[in-house]
């Protein structure tokens, strides 16, 4: 790929080298009738205004106004890193502006406010500019000062790339220059990674090398004990237990780990540090080999919002924070661009349609912070981190603005390009413009596996390759009726205007089981269809959800759902009332194994499953992705999708 320079028009993550190149902010238009396009539209119309409103209600903007002298003095409100929610929302505003040309009112107003609030030396953090001035830079371990700076920088980079001018970039650069001045000499890292990727992105937009150097320095300094001993959770919590370069296992606070690794890839790519990129690839294997939920989500523990031990993946107490899923998406995207390895794209798709999409209610204004794969009957939902339904806002409201900024730039992740052609990574109805040509995509994916692509080449005689990703979950694909092999079906042609290609991805219902070391879902299976994980929800079942079992020996069928659920799955199973079985007992001689339904007293039932991302949009009730299996054998038939399934 050719090196390019500064980047107006670029989307999030604009590396100057790598196997694949991202498309610009305006290159792809998502059709609002498609799933991704509708999500993006809903986010623009509902989620983003909701975030702006809540930042007022919750006091985030008021904190900045008080620093700027634009409001009466008062106490700081919210979490001490509340500024970051403002920045993430601003980033969403900027991407939205670049995408749809929407209103720039919020951007201009907030930029003016930030200019007014910023100290002369560039410092900006409303918590440490109110009652806590003497604490500036005194406690990097928890202060989130550079974390907030990172989000400011990312917002400013987005505004610049979106063509909204460089006024916010000026604010960000003044703060970044202060960081360079201070931390070029001083050994220190932030307790919460985020500044690393932000500084590289700022470098990409400004070509100012000290930003990249500082990011690289922060990566190198991590894992050397500069943050001291975290008294409750240990140094693993913020990945200060060992240098990234030596790490073999993702650990600690999931969002911290994943933001760090996105920045690690950014640094590795811009500095040509292959050893560092290898470390990121190794850690990616650790994450996706032993510590990832079926939904693509990360983080098994509520206690410290952490990755747990390998194979520790409880569905009910999955923390699976929305922000971790977004961070994971950012990391895999960078790995894909750097290496071109399709497996990263597979994970992008998985986490997008499940771990991320499931966070947001159909109204676009209610969100899960934690995204469990099971909710029990009788769940006590008074905790903010384990509610029975999505909430409209959070005391720590990191997730909703994070969703807004991702979804406002969602079109940027649909395809990549190289000198040799175009790679379609995610299938969504819309239009892809590249230097090679324009590709119109018609599809009802993921509900239907047919994707029709109509090509208009940029020049009439040059040959280039249209690469169509065959997802790892897909056991059978055809292009124009002929069997197609993955990971990419590469169509190399001299394209003519109007050339049509029909890709058919088999989206049969699938049954998957987990690695035997995933104790928490032993004896269970999950239902999937295409990229979508399905779940069973109490609203669709007569019997108590916990007492249902799946007969995976019978075929699972797709069916038409009601209302907003285009496709449901129907499977055969049994209901077994446990009666007054004791909590622990000796199995009767010749009787059933633990956890399976009793041999007698089981009633056949049909299990109706809905896409996981649509759960909890009806009355609150039990839900589960992993369904206990009856003890019958797995039958041949539509479940056997071959080795790639």
Contact of 127 with 82, CB cutoff 8 Å = yes
Q: Residue 370: helix, strand or coil by DSSP?
A: strand
Q: For a second copy, how many residues bind (rule: CB under 8 A)?
A: 91
Q: Which of residues 579-598 bind a second copy (CB under 8 A)?
A: 581-591, 593-598
Q: Which region among 17-25, 59-67, 232-240, 407-415 touches a second copy (by CB under 8 A)?
A: 232-240
Neighbours of 234 (CB within 10 A): 14
* Active-site option among 51, 190, 398, 535: 398
Name the one residue in this structure whose structure tokens are 């409209």. Answer: 392
Find the binder of a second copy among 148, 149, 202, 521 (CB under 8 A): 521
- 137 vs 311, which CB is nearer to a second copy? 311
- 271 vs 513, which CB is nearer to a second copy? 513
Find the binder of a second copy among 115, 119, 242, 316 (CB under 8 A): 316
How far is Cα 365 from Cα 325, in angstroms, rounded to an integer? 19
Q: Residue 451: helix, strand or coil by DSSP?
A: strand
Structure tokens at 389: 């339904």
Indicate the DSSP class of residue 321.
Answer: B
Minimum gap (Å) between residue 395 Cβ and a second copy: 7
Could you tell me the sign of the dihedral formed by the alpha carbons of 594, 604, 520, 518, in that order? positive
Decide if 305 is catalytic. Answer: yes
How far is Cα 232 from Cα 204, in angstroms, rounded to an integer? 38
Task: Determine, following the binding rule CB under 8 A, whether residue 315 of this chain makes contact with a second copy.
Answer: yes
How far is Cα 84 from Cα 398, in angstroms, rounded to an integer? 8
How far is Cα 150 from Cα 256, in angstroms, rounded to an integer? 13
How far is Cα 33 from Cα 435, in angstroms, rounded to an integer? 26
- 392 vs 645, which CB is nearer to a second copy? 645
How far is Cα 59 from Cα 168, in angstroms, rounded to an integer? 21
How far is Cα 403 from Cα 456, in angstroms, rounded to an integer? 33
Task: Determine, following the binding rule CB under 8 A, whether residue 142 of this chain makes contact with a second copy.
Answer: no
Task: Determine, following the binding rule CB under 8 A, whether residue 340 of this chain makes contact with a second copy.
Answer: no
Find the binder of a second copy among 275, 516, 563, 600 (CB under 8 A): 516
Task: Determine, following the binding rule CB under 8 A, whether residue 32 of this chain makes contact with a second copy.
Answer: no
Minimum gap (Å) between residue 234 Cβ and a second copy: 3
Q: Which of residues 439-478 bind a second copy (CB under 8 A)?
A: none
Minimum gap (Å) between residue 304 Cβ and a second copy: 7
Minimum gap (Å) between residue 66 Cβ and a second copy: 23
Minimum gap (Å) between residue 509 Cβ and a second copy: 11
Looking at the DSSP bridge assignments, the partners of residue 310 are none
Task: Determine, following the binding rule CB under 8 A, whether residue 519 of this chain makes contact with a second copy.
Answer: yes
Minimum gap (Å) between residue 559 Cβ and a second copy: 21
Q: Which helix (H) or strand (E) holds 132?
A: none
Structure tokens at 526: 């999950």
- 139 vs 512, which CB is nearer to a second copy? 512
Looking at the DSSP bridge assignments, the partners of residue 415 are 424
- 452 vs 631, which CB is nearer to a second copy? 631
Q: Which region among 84-92, 274-282, 327-335, 629-637 touches a second copy (by CB under 8 A)?
A: 629-637
- 99 vs 236, which CB is nearer to a second copy? 236
Structure tokens at 413: 């992740």
Task: Determine, following the binding rule CB under 8 A, whether residue 482 of this chain makes contact with a second copy.
Answer: no
Neighbours of 50 (CB within 10 A): 22
Task: Determine, following the binding rule CB under 8 A, whether residue 554 of this chain makes contact with a second copy.
Answer: no
Angle at CA of residue 545, ends 534 and 540, nearest 5°? 60
- 453 vs 528, which CB is nearer to a second copy? 528
In 3D, which of 162, 240, 151 has the Cα closest to residue 199? 151
Minimum gap (Å) between residue 516 Cβ and a second copy: 5
Q: Which region among 190-198, 310-318, 423-431, 482-490 touches a second copy (by CB under 8 A)?
A: 310-318
* Active-site option among 305, 321, 349, 433: 305
Decide if 412 is catalytic. Answer: no
Find the binder of a second copy among 524, 567, 571, 607 (CB under 8 A): 524
Contact of 453 with 56, CB cutoff 8 Å = no
Find the binder of a second copy among 87, 175, 238, 288 (CB under 8 A): 288
Q: Which helix (H) or strand (E) holds 533?
A: strand 532-537
Minimum gap (Å) between residue 78 Cβ and a second copy: 12
- 239 vs 409, which CB is nearer to a second copy? 239
Contact of 238 with 304, CB cutoff 8 Å = no
Q: Which of residues 250-269 bind a second copy (CB under 8 A)?
A: 251
Task: Determine, following the binding rule CB under 8 A, whether residue 631 of this chain makes contact with a second copy.
Answer: yes
Contact of 611 with 351, CB cutoff 8 Å = no
Q: Which of residues 353-382 bind a second copy (CB under 8 A)?
A: 374, 376-380, 382
Q: Which of residues 77-116 bind a second copy (CB under 8 A)?
A: none
Long-range pairs, 520-524, Cβ under 8 A, ≥24: 520/312, 520/313, 520/314, 520/315, 521/313, 521/315, 521/626, 522/595, 523/595, 523/596, 523/628, 523/629, 524/626, 524/627, 524/628, 524/629
Task: Determine, following the binding rule CB under 8 A, whether residue 576 of this chain makes contact with a second copy.
Answer: yes
Minimum gap (Å) between residue 285 Cβ and a second copy: 11
- Which residues are CB-contacts of 187 (< 8 A; sequence separation ≥ 6)? 221, 226
Task: Determine, following the binding rule CB under 8 A, whether residue 517 of this chain makes contact with a second copy.
Answer: yes
Task: Determine, following the binding rule CB under 8 A, whether residue 302 of this chain makes contact with a second copy.
Answer: yes
Q: Which region among 103-111, 158-166, 312-320, 447-455 touches a second copy (by CB under 8 A)?
A: 312-320
Task: Determine, following the binding rule CB under 8 A, whether residue 603 of this chain makes contact with a second copy.
Answer: no
- 274 vs 377, which CB is nearer to a second copy? 377
Minimum gap (Å) between residue 239 Cβ and a second copy: 12
How far is Cα 346 from Cα 326, in angstroms, rounded to an integer? 15
Which positions are catalytic?
A: 305, 398
């Amino acid at each position: 790929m050719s090196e390019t320079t500064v980047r107006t028009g670029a989307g999030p993550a604009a590396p100057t080298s790598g196997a694949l190149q991202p498309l610009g902010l305006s290159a792809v238009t998502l059709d609002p009738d498609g799933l991704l396009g509708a999500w993006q539209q809903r986010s623009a119309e509902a989620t983003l205004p909701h975030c702006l409103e809540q930042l007022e209600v919750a006091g985030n903007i008021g904190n900045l106004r008080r620093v700027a002298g634009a409001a009466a003095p008062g106490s700081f409100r919210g979490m001490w890193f509340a500024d970051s929610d403002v920045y993430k929302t601003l980033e969403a505003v900027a991407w939205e502006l670049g995408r749809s040309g929407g209103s720039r009112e919020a951007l201009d107003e907030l930029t003016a406010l930030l200019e007014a609030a910023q100290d002369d030396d560039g410092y900006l953090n409303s918590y440490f500019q109110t009652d806590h001035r003497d604490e500036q830079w005194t406690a990097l371990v928890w202060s989130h000062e550079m974390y907030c700076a990172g989000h400011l920088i990312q917002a400013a980079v987005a505004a610049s790339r979106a063509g909204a001018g460089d006024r916010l970039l000026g604010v960000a650069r003044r703060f970044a220059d202060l960081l360079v001045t201070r931390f070029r000499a001083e050994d220190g890292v932030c307790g919460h990674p985020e500044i690393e990727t932000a500084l590289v992105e700022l470098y990409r937009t400004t070509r100012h090398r000290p930003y990249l150097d500082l990011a690289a320095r922060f990566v190198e300094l991590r894992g050397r004990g500069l943050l001291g001993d975290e008294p409750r959770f240990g140094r693993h919590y913020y990945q200060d237990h060992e240098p990234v370069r030596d790490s073999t296992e993702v650990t600690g606070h999931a969002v911290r780990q994943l933001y760090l690794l996105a920045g690690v890839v950014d640094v590795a790519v811009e500095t040509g540090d292959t050893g560092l990129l290898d470390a990121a690839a190794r850690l990616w294997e650790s994450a996706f080999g032993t510590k990832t939920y079926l939904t693509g989500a990360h983080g098994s523990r509520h206690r410290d919002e952490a990755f747990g031990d390998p194979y520790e993946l409880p569905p009910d107490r999955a923390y699976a924070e929305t922000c971790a899923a977004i961070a994971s998406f950012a990391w895999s995207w960078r790995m894909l661009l750097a290496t071109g390895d399709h497996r990263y794209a597979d994970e992008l798709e998985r986490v997008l349609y499940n771990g991320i999409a499931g966070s947001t209610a159909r109204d676009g204004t209610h969100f899960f912070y934690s995204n469990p794969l099971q909710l029990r009957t009788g769940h006590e939902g008074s905790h903010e981190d384990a509610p029975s339904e999505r909430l409209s806002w959070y005391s720590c409201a990191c997730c909703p603005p994070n969703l807004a900024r991702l979804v406002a730039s969602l079109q940027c992740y649909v395809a990549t390009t190289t000198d040799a052609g175009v790679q379609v990574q995610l299938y969504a109805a819309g239009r892809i413009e590249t230097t090679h040509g324009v590709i119109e995509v018609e599809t009802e994916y993921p509900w239907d596996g047919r994707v029709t692509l109509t090509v208009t080449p940029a020049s009439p005689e040059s040959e280039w390759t249209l690469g169509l990703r065959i997802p790892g979950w897909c056991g059978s694909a055809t292009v124009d009726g002929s069997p197609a092999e993955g990971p990419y079906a590469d169509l190399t042609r001299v394209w003519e205007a109007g050339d049509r290609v029909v890709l058919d991805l088999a989206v049969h219902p699938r049954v998957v089981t987990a690695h035997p070391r995933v104790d928490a879902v032993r004896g269970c299976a999950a239902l999937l269809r295409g990229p979508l994980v399905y779940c069973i929800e109490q609203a669709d079942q007569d019997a108590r959800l916990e007492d249902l079992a799946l007969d995976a020996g019978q075929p699972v069928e797709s069916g038409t759902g009601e209302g907003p659920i285009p496709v449901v799955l129907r499977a055969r199973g049994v209901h077994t009332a446990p009666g007054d079985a004791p909590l622990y007992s000796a199995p009767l001689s010749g009787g059933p194994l633990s956890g399976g339904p009793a041999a007698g007293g089981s009633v056949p039932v049909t299990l109706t499953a809905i896409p996981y991302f649509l759960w909890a949009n009806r009355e609150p009730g039990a839900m589960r992705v992993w369904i206990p299996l009856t003890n019958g054998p797995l039958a041949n038939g539509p479940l056997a999708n071959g080795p790639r399934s």
